[in-house]
Structure 1
Amino acid sequence: MYHSVSDSWDDPFNITVSAARLARQLAWLCGRGLRGVSMRELLAARAQGQERGLVGLTFDDGYADFVTTALPLLRHWHCGATVFVVAGRLGGENDWEVSGPRKRLLDADDIRRLAALGVEVASHGLTHSDLTCLPDDVLHAEVHGSRTLLAELTGQDIHGFCYPYGRFDARVGAVVHGAGYRYACAVASGPKSAGDLALPRIHIGQADTGMRLEVKRRLARPWGRAVEAS
């Protein structure tokens, strides 16, 4: 689970990885015979029993620096990724954060370009709101409306959803399921009954050197953060 890739050191929420650090992390990944892929590719491979050696890479919030900074590095290392876009704030800023730097978000043209390049574009809602706190009508708009908007922009089916702040409950999960998403990403593991609608992830930050990445890799299964064949 990544967010922003830039050289800004004003990072109160630990969401920023520098370009140099990301390059070293991808080199570490590939040097161990692993390959970063989108969640769509990872789950398709799992369905065929071929997920071994694949690591899902996700970038939350849809920061504009994904195009300018992260994407060239991913392509250099022959890696894919999923970008979870806040569909109602395209071309805007991360003004849901109460503090920290303002970062520009991908705009509609960026989304079209990413889709054309084969990058998986998926939904992070419309406004980056805590879905568990919303009334039913607003929740429906966040989940269904964001999928519709991104499908229109990309001309593709939108497979994935990501819960803002990683927060979800049974009501939110039911709406996500009803909207037609094939999977949804959280942070911590959800109940087993949630299945692919509560996929856990491991946060990756600036402090994650090779040694830390190796520890996180080895703990993925004990932590319940591995996507394995069911």
Structure 2
Amino acid sequence: MYHSVGDCSYDPYRVTVSPRRLDRQLGWLRRRGLRGVGVRELLAARARGAGQDLVGLTFDDGYADFVAHALPLLRRHGCGATLFVLPGRLDGDNAWDPLGPRKPLLSAAGIRQAAAEGVEIGSHGLTHVDLIRADDALLRAEVSDSRALLSEMTGALVDGFCYPYGRVDRRAVDAVREAGYTYACATGPGDLTGPLALPRVHVGEHDTAWRLHLKHRLHQLRRLHHRPAERV
């Protein structure tokens, strides 16, 4: 789980990875025989009983620096990714982060450019609202309207959703299912599990090769010992 790729000098929410660090992290994957791909491709491979050499890469929020910094590095390492964007904030910024810094978000043209270069486009909602706190009308708009807008924008079906702030509950899952998504990503989905509540590992600027290895192992152990109460 990545977010912004750029200047890390002031990063109170730990959402930024420098291009140099991302380059090293992608190189670390490739040296171990692994390849980063979008989540849709990863899930399709797993459904065929394959994909053991694949790692799902996601970039949340749709920052403009994805096209400027992340996309060239993904190309260099032969990797794909899923980019979760906010069609209700095109050309806007991350106003939901009160401490800043303000980071510009992609335009429609930037999203189409990423899609044209093979990046899977998914929805992060319309405007980055905490869906757990949203009323029914806002929840439907954030989940369903964002999918329709992105499909129109890219000319392709949008299969993936990413819960803002990584927060998810049964009500949000039901809205995502009703909107027609085939998978959805969270951060720590708690007792919810399955394709509409996929857990992810945060990757940041301080994640060296050793930290990546440790995070990977801890994530595997958490899922191994997890006993879900609900499957979604």
Q: TM-score range by the shorter chain?
A: over 0.9
Q: Distance in 2 between matches of 1:31 and 1:68?
A: 25
Letter in 2 for 1:206: E
By how many angstroms is 1:25 displaced?
Answer: 0.5
Residue 227 (structure 2) aligns with: none
**Aligned residues of 1:38 and 1:57 also touching (Cα < 8 A):** yes
Q: Distance in 2 between matches of 1:30 and 1:223?
A: 24
| CA-to-aligned-CA distance 1:10-62 (integer Å, 9 cap, x gap) | 10000100010000101111111111000010001011011201100000000
Letter in 2 for 1:195: G
Secondary structure of the residue that 1:196 maps to in structure 2? Answer: coil
By how many angstroms is 1:125 displaced?
Answer: 0.2
By how many angstroms is 1:212 displaced?
Answer: 0.4
**Aligned residues of 1:94 and 1:105 also touching (Cα < 8 A):** yes
Secondary structure of the residue that 1:98 maps to in structure 2? Answer: coil
Letter in 2 for 1:218: R
Residue 228 (structure 1) aligns with: none
Residue 216 (structure 2) aligns with: 217
Secondary structure of the residue that 2:145 maps to in structure 1? Answer: helix
Letter in 1 for 2:43: L
**Aligned residues of 1:190 and 1:199 also touching (Cα < 8 A):** no
TM-score by structure 2 length?
A: 0.94
**Aligned residues of 1:84 and 1:161 also touching (Cα < 8 A):** yes
Residue 174 (structure 1) aligns with: 174
Unpaired stretches in structure 1, ≥5 consecutive residues: 226-230
**Aligned residues of 2:144 and 2:179 also touching (Cα < 8 A):** yes
**Aligned residues of 1:190 and 1:198 also touching (Cα < 8 A):** no
**Aligned residues of 2:94 and 2:104 also touching (Cα < 8 A):** yes
Residue 34 (structure 2) aligns with: 34
By how many angstroms is 1:158 displaced?
Answer: 0.1
Instruction: Determine whether 1:151 maps to 2:151.
Output: yes
By how many angstroms is 1:179 displaced?
Answer: 0.3
Q: Distance in 2 between matches of 1:104 and 1:183?
A: 27
Instruction: Determine whether 1:119 maps to 2:119.
Output: yes
By how many angstroms is 1:80 displaced?
Answer: 0.3
By how many angstroms is 1:191 displaced?
Answer: 3.0
Instruction: Determine whether 1:102 maps to 2:102.
Output: yes
Residue 129 (structure 2) aligns with: 129
Q: Distance in 1 between matches of 2:25 and 2:145?
A: 35
By how many angstroms is 1:190 displaced?
Answer: 3.9
**Aligned residues of 1:189 and 1:224 also touching (Cα < 8 A):** no
Q: Distance in 1 between matches of 2:209 and 2:8?
A: 21
Q: Distance in 2 between matches of 1:196 and 1:39?
A: 10
Secondary structure of the residue that 2:139 maps to in structure 1? Answer: helix
Q: Distance in 1 between matches of 2:179 and 2:79?
A: 29
Unpaired stretches in structure 2, ≥5 consecutive residues: 225-232
**Aligned residues of 2:167 and 2:189 also touching (Cα < 8 A):** no
Residue 74 (structure 1) aligns with: 74
Residue 196 (structure 2) aligns with: 197
Secondary structure of the residue that 1:184 maps to in structure 2? Answer: strand
**Aligned residues of 1:91 and 1:105 also touching (Cα < 8 A):** yes
**Aligned residues of 1:35 and 1:79 also touching (Cα < 8 A):** yes
The percentage of aligned residue pairs carrying the same residue is 59
By how many angstroms is 1:116 displaced?
Answer: 1.4
**Aligned residues of 1:39 and 1:82 also touching (Cα < 8 A):** yes
Letter in 2 for 1:60: D
Secondary structure of the residue that 1:222 maps to in structure 2? Answer: helix
Q: Distance in 2 between matches of 1:75 and 1:173?
A: 33
Letter in 2 for 1:161: F
Letter in 2 for 1:220: H
Q: Distance in 2 between matches of 1:217 and 1:53?
A: 14
When the two chains are superposed, the root-mean-square deviation of aligned CA atoms in Å is 1.1
By how many angstroms is 1:104 displaced?
Answer: 0.5
Secondary structure of the residue that 2:99 maps to in structure 1? Answer: coil
Q: Distance in 1 between matches of 2:209 and 2:118?
A: 28
